[in-house]
Amino acid sequence: MGSRHTGRCSMTQTRKKAAKPAAPVQSDWDRQLETERMHDRHYHRDPQPVPASRRFVVGQLVRYGSLPDCRVDVVEDEGRTLVISYANRGVKYGKPYDHGNRLPRVVRWHDVLPVVEEAPRQFTTDDNVWRRMTARPSTLDALIGNARRWGLIDSPDYQRSYVWTDENRANFLKSIFDQNDIGKFILVVHDYHETRVEVLDGKQRLKTLLDFTDSRFPYRGVYYHELHWRDRHIFNETLVQWIEVNRARVKRSDLLWLFLAVNAGGVPQTEEHVAHVRALYEEALRSEQALTLPA
C-alpha cells in the first residue's frame, strides 16, 4: 500500500517537473495591440483595394475620433493600415484619469486625419435653421397616431390646398407596400402642453395616410380595414423619418424659407403658389428687420 502511494507522489512530481515554462507576461501595450489586430482581422478580412490618398509617416501627429494626443507608430500595407498610439487619459464616470502611458489602436487610413492648420470656416453656419430641428425615426403607425393625437393646423397661409389625385394617392400607397422610401415629413410643433402641429413638408402624403387608414378610400379596391393582417402589419411598421421644428425657436421667415427649399419635388408647385409664398417670405423678412431696428 505504501509503495503504491509513494509511486503516485513520484509521478506527480515528475509531471510537475515536466510542465512547460510559463508564458512571458505581456505588457499592456502588447496585450492591447494583439486585441486590436484580432479586431482588425475580424472587421477587415479582405485587403482594401483602394490605395491610400493621405500618406502618413511614423511619428506624425494625427486625429482619430476623440482619442487624445494621437501619433502614428507603424505604417503597414502600403499606407492602408496604421498603428497609432494615444494617451491613456480621459474621463470615466465624471472623474478625470491619466494613467501616464500610451495604448495602441489599429486603424484604417481613411479614418485618420493629419493635424494641420485648419482653413477658416466658410461653408457652414450655426444659425442655419436645419440645425434647430430634431430628426425622429418612426413607423407609419406611430406617425399617424401622433398626428391624430396632436391635432393638425390644417392650412397655414403658405400651404396650398389638397391637390393629389386618386392616381397620386395610389402611387404613394404602392411605394409603401413595395417598401420604397417615401421621404421625410417636417412638422412644426406650436405648443408642447396643448400640442398643435402644422405640416411644413408632407401635407399631401400625411393626408393620404390619414384618409386611407380611416377607410375613406380603397387601394386597388381594398379598404384599410380589409387588408390581410400581414399587409397591414408591413404598412404600419414601414420606417419613416419625421423632423420636428419647435416653433418657438424659429422665425416666420425661417419657416417660409424652409417651405421653399424643400418643396421642389413631388407634385410641382404652381408658379402662382410659389410667388405667393415668396411674397409672404419677403414680407416676413421686412417685418422682422423692422423689429430689430432701433426706435
Rg value, the chain, Cα: 32
CB-CB contact of 187 with 197 (8 Å): yes
Q: Confidence band (pLDDT; 50, 70, 90) for 126?
A: confident
Q: Is residue 101 part of a domain?
A: yes
- Regarding whether 226 and 158 lie in a shared domain, the answer is yes
- Regarding whether 206 and 157 lie in a shared domain, the answer is yes
Does residue 277 have a pLDDT over 90?
no
Lowest mean pLDDT among 57-66, 111-120, 171-180: 111-120
CB-CB contact of 193 with 251 (8 Å): no
Lowest mean pLDDT among 7-11, 57-61, 139-143, 254-258: 7-11
- Regarding whether 246 and 159 lie in a shared domain, the answer is yes
Q: What is the pLDDT of residue 292?
A: 67
Query: Quick one: average pLDDT of 60-66?
Result: 94
- Regarding whether 272 and 164 lie in a shared domain, the answer is yes
Does residue 228 have a pLDDT over 60?
yes
Does residue 68 have a pLDDT over 90?
yes
Q: Which three cell numbers stand for residue 175?
A: 411605394
The sign one gets for the Cα dihedral 266, 267, 273, 274 is positive
- Regarding whether 270 and 145 lie in a shared domain, the answer is yes
Does residue 80 have a pLDDT over 70?
yes
- Regarding whether 103 and 154 lie in a shared domain, the answer is no
Q: Confidence band (pLDDT; 50, 70, 90) for 168?
A: very high
- Regarding whether 141 and 45 lie in a shared domain, the answer is no
Residue 180's nearest CA partner among 229, 235, 228, 126 is 235
Q: Pseudo-torsion of CA 139, 214, 203, 181, nearest 10°?
A: 40
Residues in the chain: 295
197-201 vs 133-139, strand pairing mode: unpaired
Does residue 16 have a pLDDT over 70?
no
Q: Which of 66, 89, 114 is the last residue of a domain?
A: 114
Does residue 127 have a pLDDT over 90?
no
Lowest mean pLDDT among 1-10, 47-56, 143-152, 268-277: 1-10
Mean pLDDT, the chain, rounded, equals: 83
The total number of structural domains in the chain stands at: 2
Q: Which three cell numbers stand for residue 113?
A: 486625419
- Regarding whether 256 and 138 lie in a shared domain, the answer is yes
Q: Is residue 9 part of a domain?
A: no
Q: Is residue 1 part of a domain?
A: no
Q: Which residues constitute the domain of residue 37?
A: 28-114
Query: Quick one: average pLDDT of 18-47?
Result: 72
Residue 38, strand partner residues = none
**Number of neighbours of residue 254 by Cβ within 10 angstroms:** 20
Terminal CA-CA length for the chain: 114
- Regarding whether 234 and 106 lie in a shared domain, the answer is no
Q: Is residue 16 part of a domain?
A: no
- Regarding whether 271 and 200 lie in a shared domain, the answer is yes
Does residue 264 have a pLDDT over 70?
no
Does residue 295 have a pLDDT over 60?
no
Q: Which of 114, 149, 178 is the last residue of a domain?
A: 114
Residue 188's nearest CA partner among 200, 179, 172 is 200
Taking CA atoms, 132 is separated from 28, 135, 243, in Å, by 44, 10, 10
Query: Quick one: average pLDDT of 132-154?
Result: 86
Q: Is residue 271 part of a domain?
A: yes
| Residue recorded with cell 510559463 | 22
Q: Is the pTM of this model over 0.75?
A: no
Q: What is the pLDDT of residue 15?
A: 54
Does residue 128 have a pLDDT over 90?
no
- Regarding whether 104 and 235 lie in a shared domain, the answer is no
Q: Is residue 281 part of a domain?
A: yes
Q: Which three cell numbers stand for residue 123?
A: 461653408
Name which residue leads in pLDDT, 154 or 216. Answer: 216
